[in-house]
Amino acid sequence: MNILSFETVAEVADYAAKEIMNAIKGFTPTPEKPYLVLGLPTGSTPIPVYERLIRAYQNEEISFKNVMTFNMDEYIGLTPDHPQSYHYFMQENLFKYVDIPPKNIHIPDGMANNIPAFCLSYEQAIKDAGGIDIQLAGIGENGHLAFNEPDTTFNTPTHEQALTQSTIEANSRFFDKIEDVPTKAITIGLKTIFEARRIIVLATGSKKVEAIHLSTKGPISVKCPASMLQNHSNVEFVCDKKALER
């Protein structure tokens, strides 16, 4: 586990974007593995990373034609065109500005008629793609990864997740009122995240101090889902100074 400290949010984004860009540039497609597979998060923290990737594409530094993506989660009950759905977020913050083939974009379907069956198919799609090469992730104030809340077991695959009140309150800033925040989501599991070959966790701001401390220094416990990453062989916590001021 590496804990990287940067002075600013911009430097955090610069580092993460550069690592993804280098992976894209260094990837050579083969019949057995035609795509570099990225796991992607939503939320405010990764937006500066996506802005840098868009700029790199516009400057003809990278292409997304040989990239496949799997988003980490989606609210249950929001249509893809809902302004607060993660489908909408990803289109507005990355996908519509780059040349990734639409068939290579995977985002959980929060409107699926059979949620358990969809979760199984999403997990299988990740396996069929050869697994996630780089998982970019944020971290919740309670240490959650994707929507895997505290007390989620570490061997959980993609599943339906009830959101904690603290997560609902944290996400309410994106909605007109807290009653509008969905209470359930589809999320890739902690097992799914752990199986990624490389994991880059972004953390910025003082609200993430305790989560980073427990994830990197505390006991490995389901009380802090991200603490499981202490056992991963290739993980980086990429933080600004405020996230490490403890």
Q: Which of 144, 148, 159, 171 is catalytic?
A: 144
Type of residue numbered 122: Y
Residue 142 known to be catalytic = yes
Which member of 149, 159, 236, 240 is catalytic?
149
**Cα–Cα dist 229/11, whole Å:** 23
**Taking the CA atoms of the chain, what radius of gyration do you get in angstroms?**
17
Angle value at C-alpha 4, between 139 and 35, nearest 5 degrees:
70
Is-catalytic flag, 149?
yes
Q: Give the dihedral of Cα atoms 238, 2, 147, 151; nearest 10 deg.
A: -140
3-state secondary structure 51-89: HHHHHHHHCCCCCCCCEEEEECEEECCCCCCCCCCHHHH
| 222 contacts 150 by C-beta, under 8 angstroms | yes
Q: Active-site residue 231, yes or no?
A: no
DSSP E strands, the chain: 2-6, 36-40, 67-71, 73-75, 105-106, 134-137, 159-162, 184-187, 198-203, 235-240
Candidates 73, 74, 133, 236; catalytic one: 73
Q: Which of 104, 142, 148, 171 is catalytic?
A: 142
Which residues are catalytically annotated?
73, 142, 144, 149
